[in-house]
Amino acid sequence: MSVTAEKVKELRERTGVGMMDCKKALTETNGDFDAAVDYLRKRGLAKAAKRAEREAAEGIVASYIHTGAKIGVMVEINCETDFVAKSDDFMAFGRNLAMHIAAVNPRWVKSEDVPEDVLAKEKEIYMEEARQSGKPEQVLEKIAEGKLRKFYEDNCLIDQAFVKDTDVKIADMMADLVTKIGEKIEIRRFVRYQVGEEV
């Protein structure tokens, strides 16, 4: 099968990947459109790991005000270029993230952000709970580790299930966007305000 400009354009529109990568994918797969999509997805996921070392200094501050104006969120999301920061996909990700934070109220962006003293206290509580329920000493550590994973899912944004689709984690949404736009993405920080919260 020949690789036509129309096919390259169609693949670009479908995947959001650059023209040269689309042409290469179609060439490598002998013009098979579906195989080219798979080829790009596989390459994109491989590239995502390499992008982790790059600097993400551009980006946006996305915001969300909940109906009734009682809850508001601002979240900073970074990428590598201003071009990507202004793209519809990146902006939509920002809006979804801000809305998710308003609804779910995570405490930290990722597990590495949880202070050591908080982790130590949680682990101590989980081990004591297991001990009180009669579990043997040798399994207390494992039980505590399992409960800590659940703690991260409840409190760390990146580990949470997306509020609009609980089958998808925020980390998976990010990975899909990295594959599509071809740049490193980082959720830098967020703030969530709720009326009367500190009163």
Taking the domains of the chain in order of start, what are their residue ranges? 5-51, 58-109+156-194, 115-155
Please list, in sequence order, all residues whose beta carbon lies within 8 angstroms of the beta carbon of residue 178, skipping any fewer than 6 positions away: 44, 48, 51, 184, 185
Task: Check residues 136 and 52 and name the one with the higher pLDDT.
Answer: 136
The torsion angles phi and psi of 196, rounded to 5 degrees, stand at 80, 0
Does pLDDT of 199 surpass 80? no
Rounded CA separation 87/81 (Å)? 10
Q: Which fold has domain 5-51?
A: Helicase, Ruva Protein; domain 3 (1.10.8)
Residue 108 three-state SS: strand
Q: What is the mean pLDDT of residues 155-177?
A: 92
Q: Is 23 left (phi over 0), alpha (psi -120 to 50) or beta?
A: alpha
User: What gap in Å lies between CA 136 and CA 139, rounded to an integer?
Assistant: 6
Record the tokens describing residue 85, joined without a space. 């920061």
Give the three-class secondary structure for 75.
Answer: strand
* Residues in contact with 48: Cβ distance below 8 Å, sequence separation at least 6, in sequence order: 175, 178, 179
Q: Which of 106, 105, 118 is nearest to 155 (CA)?
A: 106
**12-48 tens-digit pLDDT:** 777 666 677 778 888 888 888 888 878 877 776 445 5
Provide the CATH number for the domain formed by 115-155 in this structure: 1.10.286.20
58-109+156-194 topology per CATH:
Tetrahydropterin Synthase; Chain A (3.30.479)
Q: What is the pLDDT of residues 101-118, one digit of tens each?
A: 999 999 999 999 999 999
